[in-house]
Structure formats: structure tokens, C-alpha cells
Structure 1
Amino acid sequence: MAAFARRKAQRLARADGSRKGRLDERAAPVLRLLNARDPFCTASSCSGRLVLLQGGAAMAALEKATGDVVLKFEPFVLHVQCQEMQDAQLLHSVAVDSGFRNSGITVGRGGKIMMAVRSTHCLEVPLSHKGKLMVSEEYIEFLIHVANQKMEENIRRIDRFYRSLESALQTAAGANDLHSEGMERSRSVYVRRRKRKTVHRQSVCPSPKDQHEELEPEDDIENSLDIFADIMI
């Protein structure tokens, strides 16, 4: 646990090395929620993006393109390092239930447990080849409309994931508290019973002198068995 906490502190202290260079506001609530819990440390994330490779605005980019142009939509993705397998399994269950059905858990060398939140809610369509436009302007407008719809659904899934994760973490924390409380209660009852047994034996057992003088050999055996049973409790 101490080693995981140390690695987590080191990772979170690093400077932002992303191309964007600043916090992804859509993903930020999920990241804060996870990093506030000891068993989790976020490694990388992207809340989703719509990309027209090789260019800026759609039609202007296509007119200037000399190579292949592809329209891509990439949904939310998140990688989280987990302290224990049960922590990764909780996160995986919430992710799948929230619509990120391509999520998975990997265990690397050294036992590092990584949970990836992913979905198949993607879009990738080639628009031009070697500078030649392969589709109509009307079709490009249709694709942009579809991509925007996918982004809206992606945002809904992120919100659903956040709410479900918050609830699951609270439930898990409550269960751990009850378990600890139950263990402490059982220990207290055990200690009280042990004390009562000790007091009872002290009140009924004769003094060492009387015991030596009065007990027969078979009584010595019974006393030895009683001591053995007391050790085994």
C-alpha cells in the first residue's frame, strides 16, 4: 500500500505532458473523483474528440489536401492504475454498465493493475485519396451531423459513468466500514468471553498446594486436558 501511494504521489506531481497542455474539463470531475480515493490513480484520459486529419475546417481542408483525409470521432477513454484487483473490478463493472463496453483490465510486469475505460462508439471515414475528393459535400455534412450526435451521446455516457462511480464508491466505503466495525465487535466479544473464562477458572480451582496434595493421577490428566483446550480456543 505504501509503495502504491508513493507512485501515485509521484505521478500526480508530474507536469501535464499532453498535446492540449491543460486540464480536460469534461473529464476533470471523473479524474478528481478517482484520485481522491486511495486505491486509484489516473494515468491518461481524453473526453472525446472530432478530428479531420490534415486540415482545419472541413471543406477548406479537403480543397487543399494533397494526401488522404479521414474524418474521425474518438470517444472518451481513461486509464486508471488500481491498487488491488477488486478495485479494478469495481471500476470495470461501473464502466460497462455506463456504456463503455470495450473496457478491460490488464496486469503488467511487477503486478501493476491497469483498468482502461473504452467504448466502440467510434467513427472513422476516409474522405479523399491522394488529394481527390471521394465523397460529396452533402455526405460530408451528413457525417459531421452523425459525429456531433456521437459526441452528445459520449458526453451523456461520461455523466452516467461519473454518477454511477460516485454511488459505487460510496457503497464500497460503507461496506468496508461495516466490515471493520463487525471485526472490532467480534474481537471485543471474544476478549470479554476470555476474561470471564479466566475469572471462572480462578474461582473454582484449588490452590497449587491443595491440588498437589488432593488430586489423584487421573485428575492430573483432566487438568492437563483442560489447559490444552484453553490453548486451542
Structure 2
Amino acid sequence: MRRMIIAGNWKMYKTLEETLVFFDELSSWEKDFRHENQILIFPPNLYTMSCLEKTRGNDIDIGVQNIYFKDFGAYTGEISPPMLTSIGCKYALVGHSERRHIFAENDEEINRKILSLLKHKKHIVFCVGEKENEREDGYTEQVLTNQLRYGLGDVGEKDMQQITIAYEPVWAIGTGKTATPEIAQDAHAFIRNWLKDNYSSHVANKARILYGGSVKVANCEGLLIQPDIDGALIGGASLKINDFIEIIKKGEEVANRKDQ
């Protein structure tokens, strides 16, 4: 069975003080909670070092929300994979729809980031997903195919061990709309079949594919129980300690049921 991931993308929320309080509570709770699933949080990049220090000794992973594909240079405001290595950070989020649509990142740039992270042995959560008009016009599979093909260009089969894919329909991010479990499962199955056709059955069976898009305590169980959904990339609910803990607990319950 694939190990489930419960991940939180904090985007540009929380002060440092609020972040430290959150991690004090999460770390204290996690030490007494036996879990098999992976817990992963992407706080604002500015807080990465503080979060790594807060989770030392815990089974909680920390990642950054974005990187640049160059190792070093005159790139004001950017951070690079070697900088992650220097502070002991192993995870990075790439290709989130807000990076694509607000900051005009294209598939070529996303691919260069993925290749740079792979070169430096980082683990990547690679986001893909269609906009509302693309789904309404019947282009979901075409959009996903293009994002996967170009985003994973020159990525070898062995490298896929370091990549988790997150399906995030843009129309469900921060809108309160959530893909039904059936819609989400169909998209995840399509992605897994694409991996089978373009890599191998081994890669497809091992790949972890997360769902993201208005995941909440109330709907997470129905999503996580789907056969091709291997966890969640959570936005707003990951900012609330009680909600995030409840989703982690529900994830454990679902994983145990899937394992039977």
C-alpha cells in the first residue's frame, strides 16, 4: 500500500508568533499519536528554518512553497535547492496554480525547477489541475496531459521516486467548491494511467497522488477513501490546528481501512 500524505500549504498566512504556537501544539500532539501516514507542511518560506527547529524529534516534514531553478546568482527574492540543503530542508512544492496563474509560471519553468530539485536530491510535490472553463469545455484530460508531459520532461523513471503529484482543480482552490469524490477519483485514475503509459506499471503503482481543493474535515474521508487518492494537499483547513489534527486522524482511519 502507498503511504498516505496529509500535507498543508499555508500560502501567505500566519505571523511567526502564530506559526510557532501552531507547531508547539502540533508537535506536542504528534508525539503521543501513533501514525503511519506522512505529515508534511509548507509554511511561508521565511519561516522554514524555525519550523524545522520546532519539528526536530517529531515525525513531521517541512517544505518550501517555491524555489528558483538556478543554484546561485543575482536573482533578487529567490531561493535555491542548495539553500534548502544547507538548512536541512528536503521538500518543495512546485507548479501550484497560484504560481501558474498569478505569477505567470509556465510549464517550461516548472520543469526546470523540478529538474533542479531532482539534481539536489529533493522531494517534490508537483501540482497539476484544470480551470473551471477547461473542465466545462471538456478539456480536463488534455490540460492534465500537457502539464504532466511538459512538467516531467527529461524526468527519468528512477527520479519519479522523488515526485508526488497533487491534483488540484483550480476551480476548487479557495472557492469552497470541492470536486466530488467521483470527479476526483476519475482525475487521479487518469493521472495514474498516464504514468503507466509514459513510464511503467511500477511507477504508476508506486506514485502517490494527492487531492487538493477545499479539503475540510467534513469531506476528507470521502475523498481519501478513493482507490487512487493517496492523501491531501490542504489549504485553509491546515491553518487551523484542530481541523488539521482531525484530518490527520481521519487519514489514519482511512489508511487502515484501505490496508485491510
**Which bin holds the TM-score, normalised by the shorter protein?**
under 0.3
Higher share in helix: 1
Between Structure 1 and Structure 2, whose CA radius of gyration is higher?
A: 1
Q: Give TM-score scaled by structure 2 length.
A: 0.21
Normalising by structure 1, report the TM-score: 0.22
Q: Which has the higher contact order (CA 8 A, sep 6+)?
A: 2
